[in-house]
Amino acid sequence: MMLIVLHVNPLKLILLLSTLYTLSDCYDPLDPNGNFSITFDINNRLDNGYLATVTLQNYHQYRHVDKPGWKLGWTWASNEVIWSMSGAIATDRGDCSSYSGSQMPHSCKKDPIIVDISPDVTQNRSARCCRGGRLSARAIDSLSSLTSFELEVRNLDQKENSIGQAPKNVTFMAPGPGYTCSPFMVTDPSVSLDSGGVRQVPVIRTWKSICTYSSFLANKSPVCCASFSTFYNPIITPCRNCTCGGCREADKNTQSCIRPSDSLGGSNDEKNIIRCTNHMCPIRVHWHFKNNYMNQWRVKLTISNYNFNRNYSNWNVLVQHPGFNEKVTAYSFNSTKLPTLVADGVALFWGIDYFNNELLHSDKDGVGSVTTEILLEKDQNSFTLQNGWTFPRRIYFNGENCDMPLPDTFPMLPNGSYIFRPNCLAFIFSLISLLLVLLVL
Ligand SMILES: *[C@@H]1O[C@H](CO)[C@@H](O)[C@H](O)[C@H]1NC(C)=O
Ligand SMILES: *[C@@H]1O[C@H](CO)[C@@H](O)[C@H](O)[C@H]1NC(C)=O
Ligand SMILES: *[C@@H]1O[C@H](CO)[C@@H](O)[C@H](O)[C@H]1NC(C)=O
Ligand SMILES: *[C@@H]1O[C@H](CO)[C@@H](O)[C@H](O)[C@H]1NC(C)=O
Ligand SMILES: *[C@@H]1O[C@H](CO)[C@@H](O)[C@H](O)[C@H]1NC(C)=O
Ligand SMILES: *[C@@H]1O[C@H](CO)[C@@H](O)[C@H](O)[C@H]1NC(C)=O
């Protein structure tokens, strides 16, 4: 062991470890298979063209696409045009001046951007279309996590009497940036069932692209922070100061603050007006340990929206806590447990339709919030008031990681003694120092 360690350059080791830590940003251990898949099925050949169905499927367990909806783009390999489209539209017709006649192509752009149409449009619909660009998270509503549209493509490259090449440079916004899409690859043709389900009919060709999310690429400051409190200590552990890109101005006593614009908000400052707080986060998730019974314990979970101009429809909150391995009852939220690779239990909460599935904005009279009580069964072997065990290990709001308070600020038990629970970063640092010590020896 010592010999192996001695051959590793300590600088390289630190670099390697910090790269691993950064990479963990792209890979979410709570949803390792989360992605968007884009399937391009060619159903019929036409004279110098084809009919195709494009299907978008959201495989993320707890990341949804909200207003103003997804945007899909690509670059045609040669001079293809979209002759017609149903279930979606291209945002730009482009230069169709080489066409004349009664019908013009839907879009002649080399790099069209395609958006969904609204649910109340009655013309040019397709099967499974028209959600105004919204796609549900898979664990919440798998039926609405997919959408499809149809298009007729013409003006293929005449050289080869084929269906031409797949479009290049696939882009996906949902609705913000952060997604990277693989090139379209030929896969096994999609199969539909015909004749009452007894005959399998494969399409002519299927191209598939997978788009994955990285909050590092989205390049925005955190949007969410967590705060904790308990029945046994009046001290509240607040969100950390200046967590979400900026600090409140110390001397000013105003109610509204402008959050430094992130790439999601763009230049639209209107969207970035939030209630001034020390943390400056648009969203806070508060976990209050309320009651400790013989065989159960009770938590109050509150999600507050400090935005003045933004409602969150179909919000969701994911909490990782070992207590969620036992039976859990949420009273005012919908909830489910997710299977994951981590040992702790993971529970997903979302609003109840027409009751609290819309997290309203704040105004001068108050903060928009939704709240529920949660009753958890106790596993007598693991339940403890020590070491901040009763607080969540990780919280996500709409799939975005919430900043957590440091363990040394957790509310203490009345009788005192508190043992430090190392977090991941602290663990990596102690690993580095251990290896450095070994190297010095
Ligand atoms: C995309 O998601 C599907 C469904 O979860 C999964 O089977 C597939 O492996 C994922 N692909 C990638 C590249 O992560
Ligand atoms: C429906 O599609 C046809 C053919 O692409 C087009 O001419 C027509 O304008 C479309 N109608 C609407 C309401 O988009
Ligand atoms: C795809 O994008 C890359 C990088 O942006 C660019 O260099 C390339 O020309 C694009 N390909 C096409 C076919 O537009
Ligand atoms: C956070 O900011 C408030 C107000 O500026 C200050 O009173 C408090 O001490 C700060 N907390 C920390 C941990 O720095
Ligand atoms: C938020 O929702 C409320 C109630 O539905 C509505 O009155 C308000 O206009 C919405 N605000 C925004 C910014 O969408
Ligand atoms: C829970 O959520 C699902 C999916 O959004 C919904 O169909 C169901 O009605 C919800 N249950 C309650 C009690 O609202």
DSSP string, 29-93: TTSTT--EEEEEEEEEEETTEEEEEEEEEE--SS--B-TT--EEEEE-SSS-EEEEEESEEES--
Q: What's the predicted TM-score (pTM) here? A: 0.84
8 part of a folded domain: no
pLDDT in tens, 230-288: 999 999 999 999 999 888 877 667 788 888 655 444 445 556 789 999 999 999 999 99
Pocket test for ligand 3, best of 74, 75, 182 (most atoms within 8 A of CB): 75
pLDDT in tens, 10-35: 444 444 444 444 444 556 889 988 99
Domain count, the chain: 2
Pocket test for ligand 3, best of 168, 170, 184 (most atoms within 8 A of CB): 168
The ligand whose atoms approach the alpha carbon of 353 most closely is: 6
Residue 113 alpha carbon to ligand 2 centre in Å: 17
Once rounded to an integer, what is the mean pLDDT over residues 433-441? 57
135 part of a folded domain: yes
Q: What percent of the chain has pLDDT over 90?
A: 63
Average per-residue pLDDT for the chain: 86
How far are the Cα atoms of 37, 232, 243, 386 from residue 414, in angstroms, in the given order?
Answer: 52, 7, 29, 11
Q: Which of 165, 188, 216 is the last residue of a domain?
A: 216
* Domain CATH code at residue 369: 2.60.40.290
436 part of a folded domain: no
Residues 320 and 191 in one domain: no
C-alpha to C-alpha distance for 263 and 272, rounded to whole angstroms: 11
Residue 153 alpha carbon to ligand 1 centre in Å: 28
Residues 160 and 258 in one domain: no
Residues 154 and 260 in one domain: no
Residues 206 and 237 in one domain: no
Residues 205 and 250 in one domain: no
Q: What is the pLDDT of residue 215?
A: 80
- Asked whether 84 lines ligand 2 (CB < 6 A), one says yes
Higher pLDDT, 75 or 10: 75
Residues 261 and 193 in one domain: no
Residue 365 alpha carbon to ligand 5 centre in Å: 15
Residues 42 and 175 in one domain: yes
The ligand whose atoms approach the alpha carbon of 252 most closely is: 4
Residue 82 alpha carbon to ligand 2 centre in Å: 12
Residues 415 and 276 in one domain: yes
Residue 396 alpha carbon to ligand 4 centre in Å: 24
> Which residues' Cβ are closer than 6 Å to ligand 6?
140-141, 334, 352-353
Q: Which atom from ligand 6 is nearest to the alpha carbon of 141?
A: 4
DSSP string for 166-218: PPEEEEEESSSS-EEEPPPEEESPPEEEEGGGTEEEE-SEEEEEEEEE-HHHH
289 part of a folded domain: yes
241 part of a folded domain: yes
Residues 121 and 175 in one domain: yes
C-alpha to C-alpha distance for 245 and 426, rounded to whole angstroms: 23
195 part of a folded domain: yes
Residue nearest to atom 1 of ligand 3 (CA): 169
Q: For residue 258, give its domain range.
A: 222-425
Residues 207 and 229 in one domain: no
C-alpha to C-alpha distance for 395 and 316, rounded to whole angstroms: 11
Residue 336 alpha carbon to ligand 6 centre in Å: 11
pLDDT in tens, 119-129: 988 888 888 88
18 part of a folded domain: no
The ligand whose atoms approach the alpha carbon of 335 most closely is: 6
1 part of a folded domain: no
Task: Tell me the three state secondary structure of residue 11.
Answer: helix
3-state secondary structure 30-47: CCCCCCEEEEEEEEEEEC
Residues 119 and 235 in one domain: no
Residues 6+ apart with CB under 8 A from 13: 432, 435
Q: Which of 216, 233, 250 is the last residue of a domain?
A: 216
Residues 351 and 383 in one domain: yes
Q: Which of 172, 196, 216 is the last residue of a domain?
A: 216
> Which residues' Cβ are closer than 6 Å to ligand 1?
33, 35, 37, 59, 210
